[in-house]
Amino acid sequence: MEEYRSHAHSVSSCKYHFVWCPKYRHPVLNVAEDDVREFFDETSDHFGQKILALEIADDHVHLFVQCDPKHSPADLARQFKSYSGKHLLERYPEIRESYFWGGGFWKVGYYVGTTGAVSEEVVERYIEETEHAPE
């Protein structure tokens, strides 16, 4: 059954699948995986979003999130990336010195897709079952 969010004057079901990477695609997320989860949870709580699935590989993140329609995909990416990136660099100064000399943790770009004609179960299964082993 589809989960809808009720608002003052509307009902919505806005779900986005994001993928983004650390700058220079450095494989550093295995060191900070628990912290990435913590910062993403804090971000979703602060902005009233719901994380439906989260997969963290060494060099990229898959995030499947449900939000209110007032937040554009660009807003969501900015919210998650800016808060987590700032705090990751503060918490891991050794990673900052070794890999991120130019400032900022995440690459500027990202992938975003909606569930559209694909059910959320298919997206969640893809995120959970996709093998993210180092090559």
Question: Which domain range does residue 124 map to?
Answer: 5-131
In the numeric block, which tokens belong to residue 69? 């329609």
Percent of the chain with pLDDT strictly greater than 70:
93
Q: Are 88 and 32 in contact (CB under 8 A)?
A: yes
Domain count, the chain: 1
Q: CA–CA separation, 25 vs 29, rounded Å? A: 10
In the numeric block, which tokens belong to residue 31? 């060191």
Please tell me the pTM assigned to this model: 0.81
Chain segment 45-94, per-residue pLDDT in tens: 999 999 999 999 999 999 999 998 888 999 999 999 999 999 999 999 88
Q: Any idea what the CATH number is for the domain that residue 67 is in?
A: 3.30.70.1290
Chain segment 86-131, per-residue pLDDT in tens: 999 999 988 888 887 777 899 999 999 987 656 778 778 878 877 6
